[in-house]
Amino acid sequence: MDSNKTRPSGTSLLLQAAAAFLILALGIVLYFKPHASTSNIDAPAPGKPPVEQTVPQPPKPSDTYDTADDTAPVVEILPAADDAQVIKAIGVTVAQLLDGSAAGLAQEAGANAIILDMKRDDGKLEWHSQEAAARNVGANSGAQSINARITAALEETGLYAIARVSAFRDHLIGFDKGCTVETLDGAMWADNDGIHWSSLSNHVIRTYIASCAVELTALGFDEIVMEHVTSPTCGDLALLTGGERFDAQLQMDFLAELQAAVSRTGAKLSLVMDAETFVRAEPLTALTAPMVNEYFDRVWLSEGDVSALEGAGISLGGAVTLTDALLPGGTSQAVLP
């Protein structure tokens, strides 16, 4: 060890330590000063309200179908062939057709077709039928002049026109004791909504339904879409007599009569159905996939997955998803073969 090397004095050591402490403290202050302002969001100054942070919310789904195409509940099942016509239909009322607003609603929705509920579930008709059954139960709507007004209005729109017909779900005809679906004890049966159904076994009623379809084509409708073409499918079915529910010959007779009547007019005949009808372990009615393929031009699927129809052997040449096109403002898209 070099004995000549001098040691620092105690005062010098204290001064050095103080200087180091000051440098360290200054560095800490300079480091944290830029970050101090962010604390105002979490801890506002006394007497000032806290700063509210807005969290972006996802856009609410549109409940209207007449805006952009990507908001409309439309599903095209099959691509259109080169010579096929794609139609996008919007549901309108007869009142909207007659007051001239139907065409404007279709234009706003980008639709080239309209759908009208012409024979309703309650049995009421939106036109004046020449059939005695309609007169007997008071089903007709308005004076006979309404027919000419409907025809003129359809022509004026220039749109593809579809008429919806409720076949055997018909409260007026079904309320007639001689035409109704009955329970096991002979009483008039009604479904969950209190609506009576007319009987598939009654030839007069079958003729009436087919005649209604023909009259609608004469008014100017290009397509008749039928619903409830079987015995009842909703309600307490265990109370039904059951005879006609699974009578395949009876079902085919009606469909053949209906197709023969409509085919002579040149209009298309379509069916509204629920896919569940064909995937149930126990059938609801006598209607089968071969009947659908033979007697109808197209299927409008009311509920379920279209794959259920494929699995049941139903031809999908132009099948569409119905969504709520039969409701005013609702839309659907289809391919016309």
Q: Give the confidence band of 158 by pLDDT, cuts at 50, 70, 90.
A: very high
Angle between helices 145-157 and 203-219 (to 10 degrees): 50
Per-residue pLDDT tens over the stretch 280-297: 778 889 999 999 999 999
Whole-structure pTM value? 0.75
Lowest mean pLDDT among 133-137, 150-154, 332-336: 332-336
Average of per-residue pLDDT across 190-211: 96
- DSSP state string for 181-226: -BBTTSPBPB-TTS-BBB-TT-HHHHHHHHHHHHHHHHHT-SEEEE
- Laid out side by side, the sheet with 268-274 consists of 320-321, 298-303, 268-274, 223-227, 160-166, 113-119, 85-91, 331-336
In sequence order, the β-bridge partners of residue 85 are 336
Q: Give the confidence band of 308 by pLDDT, cuts at 50, 70, 90.
A: confident
Cβ–Cβ under 8 Å, residues 311 and 319: no
Tokens matching residue 169: 């779900």
**Residue 203, pLDDT above cutoff 60:** yes
The predicted pLDDT at position 119 comes to: 98
Q: Give the confidence band of 209 by pLDDT, cuts at 50, 70, 90.
A: very high
Per-residue pLDDT tens over the stretch 1-11: 444 444 445 54
Top-confidence range, 6-20, 25-39, 244-258: 244-258
Average pLDDT, the chain: 78
Lowest mean pLDDT among 7-21, 27-41, 89-103, 248-262: 27-41
Question: Comparing C-alpha atoms, which of 227, 206, 215 is closest to residue 299?
Answer: 227
Task: Give the position of tokens 């007709």.
Answer: 140
CATH of 74-336, one of 1.10.3720.10, 1.20.1250.20, 3.40.50.2000, 3.20.20.80: 3.20.20.80
The predicted pLDDT at position 84 comes to: 66
| Residue partners of 216: CB distance under 8 A and separation at least 6 | 118, 127, 163, 165, 224
Per-residue pLDDT tens over the stretch 30-86: 444 444 333 332 333 334 333 333 323 333 333 322 323 333 333 344 445 556 677
Domain ranges (residues) in the chain: 10-42, 74-336
Average of per-residue pLDDT across 216-240: 95
Average of per-residue pLDDT across 275-281: 76
The predicted pLDDT at position 318 comes to: 73
Compute the distance between CA of residue 10 and CA of residue 65 in angstroms, rounded to an integer.
89
Per-residue pLDDT tens over the stretch 165-195: 999 999 999 998 889 999 999 999 999 999 9
Biggest distance spanned by C-alpha atoms of the chain: 137
Bin 332: left if φ > 0, else alpha if -120 < ψ < 50, else beta.
beta
Tokens matching residue 195: 């609506």
The predicted pLDDT at position 76 comes to: 40
